[in-house]
């Protein structure tokens, strides 16, 4: 629930107490298994002990002093994770949603830190990494075409080892290397809403240390909503077509390895449009005409009055009449080269090199006003001429391109017979981006007429941005005793960014405007880790996070265009003054335990974040942009657990709660929770295969979409998902078949995943209705 008043610590702890007790008897089964994990008899009633690489080296999860939730490839399949947004709320205090108008971008928020702004000049606050490569922007269909060994969700600032834009945390995805043996895998998927998908993967097998893997995806779905507008170019809303492939090559020697990967995605998608939810009554006078600022022609009919009549109050809307909603086309590709050399006993050097680029285009625009609105052309005497023209409240189109280069060197090893371990390195990152984002927008002036801006006098964002970053880092882990270790980390970062407001596509700017700024910061971490025995670990940490300041293209004052003194030019001064860097200091205590003869794994964490100038996405005047939020404090706790009821049944669960208070009155204090319960049940073993049922139930609290607007809140909702799998169906000596029936949002919950305040009206985007399908997989 979102509130303006503060909560006492006592109230904050009482609310989730009952659920905490429940979680002590259930658990978080979303952890992974690696080659080095401790093996256990599968017939024992116990929880597996696993390892992670959150500290850039292999460590047991139960001895790693970070709040981590990990998902292995088997769990990812059972949960139906197809892209990063499918991880939404599957880890405590982790929110992942797509922004309005795109099916490929995602906004990630961990422990309340994140931004939903899609601007190329505004960095995310949760770092996404694939095999150690920082993904600054779009991840596209990358999850569909890689064999994931695991996904690790690291909560809390990761300023020392991960660094780049990880004030909220990091999501690290680790892929499986090519197999030593020849393998062929084919999966076909069909489902409702026209879903058809084919995923093909071939492993060459190993020859003299060399091996390779090729994966190809072809997917098509129609979407779950329909555009009924007669002239619509895209009728199927939510439709998505993906054509993607990935090539991975590996050389594995005795003390030297090389891994190269190339991925490519071509996609086309039509985003789910917004539903108009609240048109301000002040702006709905039907007698107010509209002045087209590009042509000087008046039109009768107030678009906001038409919008008010078009408000949909029946929950999730599945039919729209949209005159300006088209498809987004994307092209994404990337190269990654990982080289690792054990140059001495207990000492390794690692190099991670990457180049990525992406291009997206929405040529026919995005309709963000929820309908098709028209006005009658008026003559000089304000009488109708008989001609009608569209008068949108808010449409936009977008062309965006970005490329990035990164290089990281890591040095890892140990001294003093393993008593002192170290990780040190150097990181370089460079990014260039350009965006052309014209709007068609109507503005209620309150002075006798609406103003309609459309090309050649449209509003929007037209800019180039650059970002360069360098960092050196080190972390030492010293065993003070056989149980207590002290971990010290430090990272020094230098950032340089620039913004160029482009005059050529901008009708309100005569000459390019350029601004540049640089920042530097040293952050550190101190962690005490007490491993009492193999079943019990306690840790306490103080960690810092840092993100450089940003230029904000959305702060252009385009109302200045209407002032004759500005001679037809907007005021760009605000966009050329960067926002301040973001700083977070997090205090955390946690425990990780195995109980009841390894049948119960129970991990808990309590954290307090002291934040300065966090970037939050707000609606300010007539635009959505990111602002520094001054001082803020967040107090919360998390529970991860898993409970092996029998050798065949594993019950799962997690819980996250946080309470944030801002020092500035314009930002709303928030307290919110999220939780997941589920089970994984091996139902039966047959002569012809194994039957397994996986069910998860996700609970989401009220979600305030804008930090400065307590009225714009998505109500709490619950989602039920399930997957029934018959596996190990033998076909010949080496071949097997797997068949799975799955359902998402089985109860057909109607829920809002995103909302925006457009000043004159509110808009919301609903999540997908119940969906179901069948996967058939062949393995050789």
Give the alpha-carbon dihedral of 49, 414, 150, 727, to 10 degrees: -50
The number of residues in the chain equals 780
Residues in CB range of 516: below 8 A, 6 or more apart: 496, 497, 498, 499
Domains present along the chain, CATH in parentheses: 9-325+343-779 (2.40.170.20)
Among 777, 770, 773, CA closest to 195: 773
Report, as an integer, the average pLDDT of 321-335.
94
pLDDT beyond 90 at 215: yes
**Contact by Cβ (8 Å): 501, 451:** no
Give the Cβ contact number of residue 653 at 10 Å: 25
- Predicted confidence at residue 620, as pLDDT, reads 56
CA distance 105 to 96: 10
Give the Cβ contact number of residue 43 at 10 Å: 8
Residues in CB range of 128: below 8 A, 6 or more apart: 84, 108, 134, 135, 139, 170, 171, 173
Q: How many helices (H) and strands (E) does the chain have?
A: 4, 46
Report, as an integer, the average pLDDT of 482-497.
96
**Contact by Cβ (8 Å): 371, 333:** no
- Predicted confidence at residue 38, as pLDDT, reads 38
Report, as an integer, the average pLDDT of 561-579.
87
- Predicted confidence at residue 750, as pLDDT, reads 95
75 to each of 94, 130, 695, 736, how far by Cα in Å? 18, 18, 11, 20
**Contact by Cβ (8 Å): 672, 637:** no
Among 17, 55, 50, 47, CA closest to 473: 55
pLDDT beyond 60 at 680: yes
Among 694, 704, 713, 717, CA closest to 768: 717
Report, as an integer, the average pLDDT of 693-721.
88
Report, as an integer, the average pLDDT of 673-699.
94
pLDDT beyond 90 at 719: yes
**Contact by Cβ (8 Å): 341, 256:** yes
Strand partners, 432: 403, 466
For the chain, what percent of residues have pLDDT higher than 70?
92
Q: What does the mean pLDDT of the chain come to?
A: 88
- Predicted confidence at residue 459, as pLDDT, reads 87
Summarised one tens digit per residue, pLDDT across range 492-540 is 999 999 999 999 999 899 999 999 999 999 999 999 999 999 899 999 9
pLDDT beyond 80 at 243: yes
Tell me the backbone φ, ψ of residue 307, rounded to 5 degrees.
-65, -40
Structure tokens at 308: 């008010």
47-61, 129-143, 277-291, 752-766: segment of lowest average pLDDT? 129-143
CA distance 352 to 780: 32
Model confidence at 28, pLDDT cuts 50, 70, 90, reads very low
- Predicted confidence at residue 140, as pLDDT, reads 55
pLDDT beyond 90 at 656: yes
Summarised one tens digit per residue, pLDDT across range 620-629 is 555 566 777 7
- Predicted confidence at residue 618, as pLDDT, reads 66
Report, as an integer, the average pLDDT of 755-780.
92
CA distance 233 to 252: 51
pLDDT beyond 80 at 289: yes
- Predicted confidence at residue 619, as pLDDT, reads 60
Report, as an integer, the average pLDDT of 282-287.
90
CA distance 740 to 691: 10
Strand partners, 548: none
Structure tokens at 243: 């054509």
For the chain, what percent of residues have pLDDT higher than 90?
63
- Predicted confidence at residue 124, as pLDDT, reads 87
pLDDT beyond 50 at 10: no
Summarised one tens digit per residue, pLDDT across range 426-445 is 999 999 999 999 999 998 88
Between 655 and 667, the more confident residue is: 655
Report, as an integer, the average pLDDT of 653-672.
89
Report, as an integer, the average pLDDT of 141-157.
80
CA distance 224 to 700: 22
620 CB-contact burial (10 Å; exposed 0-12 / middle 13-18 / buried 19+): middle
Strand partners, 309: none
**Contact by Cβ (8 Å): 111, 126:** no
CA distance 585 to 521: 13
CA distance 68 to 75: 16
pLDDT beyond 90 at 155: yes
Report, as an integer, the average pLDDT of 692-712.
87
pLDDT beyond 90 at 162: yes
* pTM value surpassing 0.85: yes
Report, as an integer, the average pLDDT of 269-293.
91
378 to each of 236, 388, 453, how far by Cα in Å? 35, 9, 17
- Predicted confidence at residue 43, as pLDDT, reads 55
pLDDT beyond 80 at 274: yes
- Predicted confidence at residue 623, as pLDDT, reads 59
**Contact by Cβ (8 Å): 375, 385:** no
- Predicted confidence at residue 622, as pLDDT, reads 53
């Amino acid at each position: 629930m979102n509130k303006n008043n503060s909560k006492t610590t006592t109230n904050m702890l009482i609310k989730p107490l009952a659920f905490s007790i429940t979680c002590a008897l259930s658990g978080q089964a979303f952890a992974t298994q690696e080659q080095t994990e401790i093996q256990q008899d599968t017939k024992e009633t116990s929880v597996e002990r696993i390892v992670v690489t959150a500290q850039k080296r292999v460590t047991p999860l139960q001895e790693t002093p970070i709040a981590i939730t990990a998902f292995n490839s088997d769990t990812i399949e059972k949960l139906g994770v197809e892209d990063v947004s499918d991880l939404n709320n599957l880890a405590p205090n982790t929110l992942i949603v797509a922004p309005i108008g795109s099916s490929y971008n995602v906004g990630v928020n961990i422990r309340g830190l994140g931004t939903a702004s899609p601007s190329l000049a505004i960095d995310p606050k949760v770092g996404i990494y694939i095999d150690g490569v920082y993904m600054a922007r779009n991840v596209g269909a990358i999850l569909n075409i890689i064999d994931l060994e695991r996904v690790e969700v690291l909560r809390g600032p990761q300023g020392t080892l991960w660094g780049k834009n990880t004030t909220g945390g990091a999501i690290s995805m680790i892929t499986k290397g090519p197999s030593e043996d020849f393998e062929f895998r084919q999966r076909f998927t069909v489902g409702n809403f026209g879903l058809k998908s084919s995923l093909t993967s071939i492993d060459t097998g190993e020859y003299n240390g060399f091996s390779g893997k090729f994966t190809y995806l072809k997917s098509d779905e129609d979407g779950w909503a329909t555009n009924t507008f007669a002239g619509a170019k895209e009728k199927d809303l939510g439709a998505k077509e993906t054509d993607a492939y990935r090539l991975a090559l590996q050389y594995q020697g005795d003390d030297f390895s090389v891994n190269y990967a190339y991925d490519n995605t071509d996609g086309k998608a039509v985003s789910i449009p917004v539903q108009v939810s609240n048109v301000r009554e002040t702006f709905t006078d039907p007698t107010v005409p509209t002045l087209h600022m590009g042509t000087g022609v008046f039109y009768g009919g107030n678009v906001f009055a038409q919008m008010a009549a078009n408000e949909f109050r029946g929950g999730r809307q599945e039919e729209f009449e949209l005159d300006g909603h088209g498809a987004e086309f994307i092209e994404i590709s990337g190269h990654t080269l990982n080289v690792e050399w054990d140059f001495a006993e207990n000492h390794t050097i690692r190099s991670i090199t990457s180049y990525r680029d992406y291009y997206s285009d929405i040529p026919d625009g995005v309709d963000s006003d929820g309908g098709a609105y028209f006005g009658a052309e008026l003559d000089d005497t304000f009488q109708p001429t008989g001609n009608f023209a569209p008068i949108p409240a808010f449409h936009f189109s977008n062309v965006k391109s970005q490329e990035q280069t990164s290089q990281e060197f890591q040095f890892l090893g140990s001294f003093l017979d393993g008593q002192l371990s170290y990780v040190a390195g150097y990181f370089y990152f460079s990014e260039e981006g350009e965006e052309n984002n014209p709007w068609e927008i109507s503005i209620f002036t309150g002075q006798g007429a609406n103003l309609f801006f459309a090309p050649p006098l449209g509003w929007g964002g037209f800019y180039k941005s650059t970002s360069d970053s360098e960092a050196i880092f080190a972390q030492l882990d010293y065993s003070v005793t056989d149980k207590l270790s002290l971990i010290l980390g430090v990272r020094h970062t230098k950032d340089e960014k620039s913004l160029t407001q482009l005059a050529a596509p901008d009708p309100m700017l005569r000459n390019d405007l350029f601004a540049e700024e640089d920042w530097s910061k040293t952050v550190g971490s101190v962690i005490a880790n007490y491993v009492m025995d193999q079943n019990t670990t306690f840790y306490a940490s103080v960690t810092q996070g840092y993100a450089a300041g940003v230029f904000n293209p959305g702060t252009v004052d385009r109302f200045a265009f209407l002032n004759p003194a500005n001679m037809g030019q907007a005021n760009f001064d605000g966009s050329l003054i960067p926002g301040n860097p973001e700083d977070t200091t997090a205090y955390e205590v946690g425990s990780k335990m195995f109980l009841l003869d390894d049948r119960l794994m129970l991990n808990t964490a309590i954290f307090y974040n002291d934040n300065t100038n966090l970037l939050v996405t707000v609606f300010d005047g007539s635009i959505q942009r990111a602002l520094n939020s001054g001082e803020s404090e967040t107090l919360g706790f998390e529970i991860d657990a898993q409970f092996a009821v029998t050798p065949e049944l594993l019950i799962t669960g997690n819980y996250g709660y946080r309470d944030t208070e801002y020092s500035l009155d314009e930002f709303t204090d928030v307290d919110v929770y999220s939780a997941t319960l589920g089970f994984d049940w091996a139902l039966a073993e047959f002569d012809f295969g194994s039957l397994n049922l996986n069910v998860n139930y996700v609970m989401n609290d009220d979600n305030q979409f804008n930090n400065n607007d307590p009225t714009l809140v998505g109500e709490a909702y619950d989602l039920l998902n399930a997957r029934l799998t018959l596996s190990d169906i033998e076909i010949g000596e080496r071949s097997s078949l797997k068949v799975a029936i799955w359902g998402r949002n089985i109860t057909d919950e109607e829920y809002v995943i995103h909302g925006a305040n457009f000043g004159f009206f509110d808009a919301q985007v609903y999540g997908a209705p119940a969906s179901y399908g069948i996967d058939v997989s062949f393995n050789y």
